[in-house]
Amino acid sequence: MAAIGGADPREQEVALYASWIGSVVEVALRRGSLDRNLSTMLETRRAEGNERVFRAAGELGEPVRSYIARLIAIEDLLAQLPVK
């Protein structure tokens, strides 16, 4: 897959989402849980939906669609972690 995050706003949207998910995963792996702040951020993100990321992935095509699908699966797993 080509590098994501260039001047194209769709690539920037995908890169921002991937970076955010990655930072939450790093904390969750260290703690084995989410803290209240991350849990609230995750809930807010999920309530807002992923329309912009879906649109960007659809327009950018494969393999970006598959990449976003994996990130959303990770987001789903994060939402199941305990909050401490």
What is the domain partition of the chain in residue ranges?
Answer: 9-79
Of 4 and 55, the structure prediction assigns the larger pLDDT to 55
- Count of residues making up the chain: 84
Report the candidate in 47, 62, 45, 57 with the shortest Cα–Cα distance to residue 8: 57
Kindly tell me if the per-residue pLDDT of 3 is higher than 80. Answer: no
Average pLDDT over residues 7-11: 91
- DSSP one-letter code for 83: B
Amino acid at 49: G
Which segment of 2-11, 14-23, 50-59, 71-80 scores lowest on mean pLDDT?
2-11
Average pLDDT over residues 28-57: 93
pLDDT at 7: 85
* CA pair distance 46, 56, nearest whole angstrom: 17
Average pLDDT over residues 4-33: 91
Cα 10 to chain centroid distance, Å, stands at 14
* CA pair distance 42, 1, nearest whole angstrom: 27
Kindly tell me if the per-residue pLDDT of 4 is higher than 60. Answer: no
